[in-house]
Amino acid sequence: KAGVTQTPRYLIKTRGQQVTLSCSPISGHRSVSWYQQTPGQGLQFLFEYFSETQRNKGNFPGRFSGRQFSNSRSEMNVSTLELGDSALYLCASSSRGPRTGELFFGEGSRLTVL
Amino acid sequence: AQTVTQSQPEMSVQEAETVTLSCTYDTSENNYYLFWYKQPPSRQMILVIRQEAYKQQNATENRFSVNFQKAAKSFSLKISDSQLGDTAMYFCAFISLPSGTYKYIFGTGTRLKVLA
């Protein structure tokens, strides 16, 4: 079974630009969640999607948005990039089955904002 | 607000020794799960162990075990017979399930280095 796939793995942007990150979950997983990882801050929850609906959202500004498609693939978008948005963005999928809550993570997309 | 606190930013342990990573959390919920995740250098985060709050018995997975103290809201991870491959960032995480929604809260992590 293929794991969680995130693209692109690395990207460099400048302030004011926007970026779109993609996440393909494990086949059969309908829940996809996104996290921002920075040194010293750990993982900050961005949002979670289930069956194309955003079920929960973290405390991030409206510049951070996401969506989920009918095949469960998800994208997140960050507009008007700021230097502080430099981070590793992790996507995780979950089956919501008997192993409730277990997350399967992708390798992440490392964003650098110059 | 729900919080997860890992008070040890970095730890080291000699190979074959035992180490305990600390985690405390705060919640008013009664139905929740606790997890320890491991993030090896430049590799994917993986689940180490999970604990359902309604279970009194501490979870165990091979060399990994937890000490779950619900009243004290404490959830520590013990690694026995440490191996070089255990070198990683370890994150304690909490999820509550009100209304079927998921919202994970992670601690800031503990960087564990196993010394040869």
Residue B99 pLDDT grade (very low, low, confident, very high; cuts 50, 70, 90):
low
CA B26/CA A9 separation, integer angstroms: 34
What does DSSP assign to residue B28? S
Q: What pLDDT shows up at residue B42?
A: 83
Q: What pLDDT shows up at residue B30?
A: 81
CA B67/CA B58 separation, integer angstroms: 6
Q: Which residues of A touch B35 (CB under 8 A)?
A: 101-103
Q: Which residues of A touch B91 (CB under 8 A)?
A: 42-43
Express each pLDDT in A2-11 by its tens digit.
799 999 999 9
3-state SS assignment for residue B23: coil
Asked if residue A99 has pLDDT above 60, the reply is no
Burial class (CB in 10 A: 0-12, 13-18, 19+), B27: middle
Of A3, A42, A99, the CB nearest to B108: A42
3-state SS assignment for residue A24: strand
